Amino acid sequence: MIEQGNPAFRECYQLVTHCGRAPRTAVRDEFTRRTPAAPDTGRVEVRRNGGHLLAVRRRQWDGVSLELARWRPGSDPEALLQLPDHLVFVTFSGRTERTEAAIGDGPRYRGADFPGAVTFLPAGQRRRAWHAGGRIEYGAIRLAPRFDGEPVGFTNQPDPLVWQLALALRDEARGGGAGGALFVDSVATALGLHLLRRRPERAGRATALAGARLGRVIGFIDEHLADDLRLAALAAQAGLGVDRFGRAFKAATGVPPHRYVTRRRVERAAELLARTDLPIAEIAHRVGLSGQSHLTTLFRRAFGDTPHAYRLDRRLP
């Protein structure tokens, strides 16, 4: 996979944030309370979402579509999905109490949906999932296959690059297509290449933290990002010892607790940079970092840019 600090990451990030602003592209935008029937394309397509769409907004470009939605599990908790296109699913906020999923005959994921979780379903593969409790806000990106190769699917693993590309598409959709076809095509290209090269992290044989336990830990982290979080405090939320908690958390999220907390701090900082005029030093303290230089170091590693440059990019007309 592409690591945040290497040149490939920076190239992808710069590709989607600094490309020229093309004229507005024609898009279809709708806001509805129901999922419309899938178009009859003559290709195998199975969709059962296992819950209720509370609100959904869709955008369609050439070879790329985006669905932004709020969703909760329903009385029939089983979801079934098979598409002729690649599907990238990113949880922006919220969480489920429990999620189990399997792609084809692969291993079953047991854990929960959480902010920053990324799921990838390659074209033509079938995914079954079971959800219980909670509510999430997500983005689902459909990509027409455009590269040779056999990408590997995965469920609910953190991926900072996919997260940022999904946010870029979300901003483009909400902005009415200001970036144009070139911008969307750049995002889709970077996303497709990254997923083709990526290999999911393996969490070993530890039993994954799941259900209400994982939900309590994720919620505690999000509510206390400004605090000096300790491993013992997180383990207490799950009712586990420190050693067992670390392994169980990584099995559920794909990363150790300290890496997850750092990523959430940087993501929260990015949100504050884009949506507020708070001084950068103040933002650093609000997300639990020691100061502006600490935030700048982590931000460069994650996004390939400084907080100031990131804020300017998000404020461009």
pLDDT (0 to 100) of residue 304: 82
Whether 223 is in a domain gets the answer yes
Q: Among the three residues 138, 164, 197, which one is the final residue of a domain in this structure? A: 197
Tell the burial category of 135 from Cβ atoms under 10 Å away from its Cβ (0-12, 13-18, 19+).
middle
Distance separating alpha carbons of residues 284 and 292, to the nearest angstrom: 6
> What confidence score (pLDDT) does residue 7 get?
44
Question: What pLDDT score was predicted for residue 274?
Answer: 87
**Distance of alpha carbon 25 from alpha carbon 27, whole angstroms:** 6
246 & 127 share domain: no
Same domain (yes/no): 224, 155: no
263 belongs to a structural domain: yes
* Domain boundary, last residue among 197, 229, 251: 197
Q: Could you tell me what percent of the chain has a pLDDT over 90? A: 30
Side chain identity at 240, as an amino acid letter? L
CB-CB contact of 257 with 214 (8 Å): no
Judge if 151 and 226 occupy the same domain: no
**1, part of any domain:** no
CATH at residue 273: 1.10.10.60
Residues 131 and 53 in one domain: yes
Tokens of 265: 């701090």
- The tens-digit pLDDT sequence of the chain (317 residues) is 344 444 444 545 454 444 433 333 333 333 233 333 343 434 668 888 788 888 999 988 888 999 999 999 888 778 899 999 999 999 988 888 888 999 988 888 888 888 888 999 999 999 999 988 889 999 999 999 888 788 889 988 888 889 889 988 898 888 766 667 788 888 888 898 899 888 665 544 567 777 778 888 998 999 999 998 888 899 999 898 887 888 888 888 878 888 899 989 998 999 899 889 999 999 999 999 989 999 999 998 888 889 998 888 776 54
Q: What is the CATH number of the domain that holds 83?
A: 2.60.120.10
Would you say residue 218 lies in a domain?
yes
In a domain? residue 202: no
Domain match, 102 and 128 both? yes
Please name the residues in contact with 293: beta carbons below 8 A apart, sequence gap of 6 or more: none
Among residues 143, 164, 197, the one where a domain terminates is: 197
Number of Cβ within a 10 Å radius of residue 110: 21
The residue range of the domain holding 177 is 7-12+24-197
pLDDT at 201: 55
Segment holding 220, helix H or strand E: helix 211-223
Residue 160 and residue 232 in one domain: no
Q: How many domains are there within the chain?
A: 2
Is residue 203 situated within a structural domain?
Answer: no
**CA nearest 152: which of 125, 130, 129, 187?**
125
> Nearest 5°: phi and psi at 56?
-150, 140
Both 219 and 193 in one domain: the answer is no
What integer pLDDT is reported at residue 42 of this predicted model? Answer: 41
* Residue 2, in any domain of the structure: no
Residues 112 and 255 in one domain: no
Sort 291 into a burial class: Cβ within 10 Å, 0-12 / 13-18 / 19+. Answer: exposed
Could you report how far apart the first and last alpha carbons of the chain are, in Å?
Answer: 33
Here the tokens at position 26 are: 């024609």
pLDDT at 277: 92
Please check whether residues 160 and 41 belong to one and the same domain. Answer: yes
> The pTM is what?
0.62
Cβ contacts of 219 within 8 Å, gap of 6 or more: 95
Same domain, 216 and 180: no
What was the pLDDT predicted at 159? 84
β-partners of residue 105 are none
Q: Let me know if residue 185 belongs to a domain.
A: yes
Task: Tell me: do 190 and 303 sit in the same domain.
Answer: no
User: Is 128 in the same domain as 236?
Assistant: no
